[in-house]
Structure 1
Amino acid sequence: MATHRSVPTPDHGASAPKPQIPLLLGAVFLIFLGQMTLNPIIAPLSREVGLAEWQVGVTISAAAVMVVATSQFWGRRSQSWGRKPVLVAAFVLATVTMALFALLAQLGMSGVLTGGALFALFVLLRGVGFGTAIAAVPPTAQAYIADVTHDEAVRVKGMAGIGAAQGVAMVAGSVVGGVLAAFGLITPLVAVPVLLGLGLVLVAFRLRRESRAELIEQPARVRPTDPRVWPFLFAGFGMFTALGFIQVVTGFIVQDRLGLDAETTGLVTGGALLTAGVGMVVAQGGLVPRSGWSPPTLLRVGGVVALAGFALLVPDLGEVSLFAALLLIGLGLGIAIPGYTAGPTLLVDRDEQGGLAGLIGATNGLTFVVAPTAGTALYGVWAPLPVIVGTVVMAVVAVFVTAHPRFRPHSDHGSADDARQGSGR
């Protein structure tokens, strides 16, 4: 059992209002529900409008570029402007861009827009616009939870809540996207801006504004080479890179291995992603909060479980094996990710939490700059290749979190003061 060390937090007074963690988790859920609802149909949609596999990868990678470029900005602004203005801006942008994307898809399927113009608008709306919007939400939620939690156990539970919200969104999005795809590919596309509009209403009317005393005028930057945080960032980068190699090609794997048409592919891909989401929800909604494991232990256990899932996905052993592999991947990453997100927050100061949350978001986004494009390109060369590469990357992570001193059981975190001295602060 891990030692639950206290974490310094600001004293807002005995009469401070109750933290709105569930509302922040609701915002995370809705923004990712919008994203996940598209996942089951993105592969068949691209083929219906005449885009190549690599063009889908470029679109997803463009979104990742915007996450990398804007996450630190959003994370620090959440501490200087406040959470509400950041989240309202994010949901307005997400709702508008995805409404236009639904219109664009309809024009593409009807043949009004084709070729380079269609591809450019795909990248602009689903890539640049939505990528910028979604980049704001997880760092804002992470910085908030780090600000209002008081010890390691509560901090890990809160960060697991963010992952659980994303996992539930994966489950719900897989169901919504897959079921609505049975009524035509345009139906889930219309549903997405409606879901995002609900998120906008939630944060605009229910989220409190912080008092001026709670804001930080100049939040500190956190360097990715900071010795307190880089081992966690390396592990997280590897995990999300491995995931990125298979996430976008899952629809193609389902369609090609099982020999399905476009509509059926959307439904079955939804079921496959649902399986991964169930694994993530079970881990982050149940196993992680009840385990009492420290962040390094979560990384070690989760890394091994996820590696087993990636290895099982390499051979084409049929539908049952495919679904079992995705379940293990979701379960393993669901255990490991809270360790990755909570671990470094225990070692930095309050004015660094926004910058750290943005840095974590940027690290996650960076993995999707190259991995989806590379994954779709490798799939075109040889279908098992992106899965093999993802498995190798996950193996490197599993070895790293076992061997590096930061993650050893006898020094799970070490002294926060010692770590800060090592960072030069």
Structure 2
Amino acid sequence: MPLLLVLVFLNIAGFSLILPLLPFYGHAFGAGPFAIACLFAAYSLGNIAGEIFWGRRSDLTGRRPVLVLTTACAAVTYIAFAFSQNLETALVLRVVGGFFGGTLGVVQGVIADITPPRDRAKVMGFFGAAFNFGFAVGPAIGGLLASPEQGLAGFHLPIFAAAALAAGASLWAWQFLAETRQPGPARTPPRYGEAVSFVSTSPLLWRLLLISWCGIAIFASTEAIFGLWTERAFGWTTHEVGLTFLAVGGVGLLVQTLGIGPLVKRFGEAKVIVGGLILLCAAVGLQPVFHAPVATVCLMALMMAGHSLAFPNAGALISRNTPPERQGSVMGLSMASNASSRIIAPPLFGLVFGLSADAPFLLGAVIIVLVVPVALAVVKLTAPRPATA
């Protein structure tokens, strides 16, 4: 298991290393807020196709060759991205990169292959910690290595670093990762039509999917416009944005490893979801109120804390309240729904940013306020029913 967690760390560090660069990289092409937000959304578009394709491919050929191949191809894609000659090429390469990065389902398949059901929650916690550690380290490296004042050439070094991390992940998987599944029949593709029908008739499940969609949309959109907003508000560059992401990822790591377990044990998943949404709403809504760099970093960290509390618990409730024969289709629908929020929302928030720099934060806070009553209904739906005589 530690060998797999190293692979997760390397992969996520390479992916997240690019994030604080994208607003400034887009500027180098003369892109506006909408086009820059599309650079974020394009990766998720490729991710949807990748998760479906590589998950089934790993059933046919085994997990290890898929992880070796996809991380190696991701490294090549990063290098091509560094030498993009125009915004259109950069967008296409972000989609391709997302396709080769769509392997979290494969990693979760490895965990399912080697972990008894009773231990999976604990192991998924380790997986989340490795993910957040990579998300903390990657942006800091990217922000510190970039030199936006040099134009496109100033982004070559951090993007090459992302390629090196992806290549390192490929070599690590090839050298140290053992195969956990013998080649065999591919899993049946998720039947989204059946899943939609099932979820729409469940008062609990459709609310959980709505909460996840809205919350992840706000988080992804804030992430997309953050560099633009801080550049305008404080004159920040990739350095400051990267260090902020370091703080954000560190908070996510602490919440995942130390906070979420005791809170769920004390209050239950549904109430923790409500608390996470309240933190998320406060962090987003107060961002334009406190125009100070320290406050901005603290509020972004608070946003990650709320995100880390709310949405893993929403996923856990979805899984626990879905019968075994529908797990694949419903969880597939959940992943597709979450990915669609990361595709649709950032460009829309980019358009709103073009009208007013503070408006996306206020819009995000309003959306979360509207979602909180939905989460309170989830608390009622999951509350233990009194025993009848």
Check whether TM > 0.5: yes
Please give the per-residue CA displacement for 1:38-85, whole angstroms capped at 9, x wherever unaligned.
122211222123222222222322222222334234334444543223
What residue is the counterpart of 1:287 in the other structure?
259
Q: State whether residues 82 and 155 of structure 2, in contact with CA within 8 Å, keep that contact through their aligned partners in structure 1.
A: no
Q: State whether residues 67 and 362 of structure 1, in contact with CA within 8 Å, keep that contact through their aligned partners in structure 2.
A: no
Q: State whether residues 146 and 345 of structure 1, in contact with CA within 8 Å, keep that contact through their aligned partners in structure 2.
A: no
Q: Which has the higher helix share?
A: 2
Letter in 1 for 2:90: F
- Paired residue for 1:241, among 213, 217, 220? 217
Give the distance between the partners of 2:222 and 2:293, measured in 1 at CA. 16
TM-score (norm 1): 0.78
Deviation at 1:286, TM superposition (A): 1.4
Please give the per-residue CA displacement for 1:292-322, whole angstroms capped at 9, x wherever unaligned.
5344343233222222211221324311221
1:120 and 2:84 are equivalent in the alignment: no
Q: State whether residues 237 and 363 of structure 1, in contact with CA within 8 Å, keep that contact through their aligned partners in structure 2.
A: yes
- Paired residue for 2:155, among 162, 175, 185? 185
Give the distance between the partners of 1:42 and 1:220, measured in 2 at CA. 33
What residue is the counterpart of 2:374 in the other structure?
400
Q: State whether residues 170 and 274 of structure 1, in contact with CA within 8 Å, keep that contact through their aligned partners in structure 2.
A: yes
Q: State whether residues 64 and 131 of structure 1, in contact with CA within 8 Å, keep that contact through their aligned partners in structure 2.
A: yes
Deviation at 1:290, TM superposition (A): 4.1
Give the distance between the partners of 1:83 and 1:298, measured in 2 at CA. 34
1:98 and 2:78 are equivalent in the alignment: yes
1:36 and 2:16 are equivalent in the alignment: yes
Using a 3 Å threshold, how does the CA distance of structure 1 residues 159 and 237 change in structure 2: closer, same or farther? farther
Give the distance between the partners of 2:120 and 2:209, measured in 1 at CA. 18
Q: State whether residues 72 and 362 of structure 1, in contact with CA within 8 Å, keep that contact through their aligned partners in structure 2.
A: no
Structural mapping, 1:159-238, within 5 Å:
159-181=124-146, 184-212=154-182, 217-219=186-188, 221=190, 223=192, 224-225=195-196, 226-227=198-199, 229-238=205-214
Deviation at 1:196, TM superposition (A): 0.3
Please give the per-residue CA displacement for 1:230-270, whole angstroms capped at 9, x wherever unaligned.
4433222121101122111110111111134xxxx111111
1:317 and 2:285 are equivalent in the alignment: no
Using a 3 Å threshold, how does the CA distance of structure 1 residues 41 and 212 change in structure 2: closer, same or farther? closer
SS of 2:384 mapped into structure 1: helix
Give the distance between the partners of 2:249 and 2:280, measured in 1 at CA. 13
Give the distance between the partners of 2:322 and 2:129, measured in 1 at CA. 24
Using a 3 Å threshold, how does the CA distance of structure 1 residues 355 and 25 change in structure 2: closer, same or farther? farther
1:383 and 2:348 are equivalent in the alignment: no
Using a 3 Å threshold, how does the CA distance of structure 1 residues 220 and 66 change in structure 2: closer, same or farther? closer
Give the distance between the partners of 1:356 and 1:216, measured in 2 at CA. 21
Letter in 2 for 1:253: W
Please give the per-residue CA displacement for 1:320-379, whole angstroms capped at 9, x wherever unaligned.
221121011011111223213333333457776665554443222211211121122111
> What is the RMSD of the two structures over their aligned residues, measured on CA atoms?
2.7
Q: State whether residues 304 and 332 of structure 1, in contact with CA within 8 Å, keep that contact through their aligned partners in structure 2.
A: yes
- Aligned residue pairs total 370
354-363 or 278-287: bigger deviation: 354-363
Using a 3 Å threshold, how does the CA distance of structure 1 residues 394 and 160 change in structure 2: closer, same or farther? farther
Give the distance between the partners of 2:347 and 2:262, measured in 1 at CA. 38
What residue is the counterpart of 1:12 in the other structure?
none
Q: State whether residues 302 and 333 of structure 1, in contact with CA within 8 Å, keep that contact through their aligned partners in structure 2.
A: yes
5+ residue gaps in structure 1?
1-19, 105-112, 412-425
1:129 and 2:129 are equivalent in the alignment: no
1:305 and 2:273 are equivalent in the alignment: no
1:268 and 2:248 are equivalent in the alignment: no
Using a 3 Å threshold, how does the CA distance of structure 1 residues 400 and 72 change in structure 2: closer, same or farther? farther
Q: State whether residues 61 and 372 of structure 1, in contact with CA within 8 Å, keep that contact through their aligned partners in structure 2.
A: yes
1:277 and 2:249 are equivalent in the alignment: yes
1:142 and 2:108 are equivalent in the alignment: yes
5+ residue gaps in structure 2?
149-153
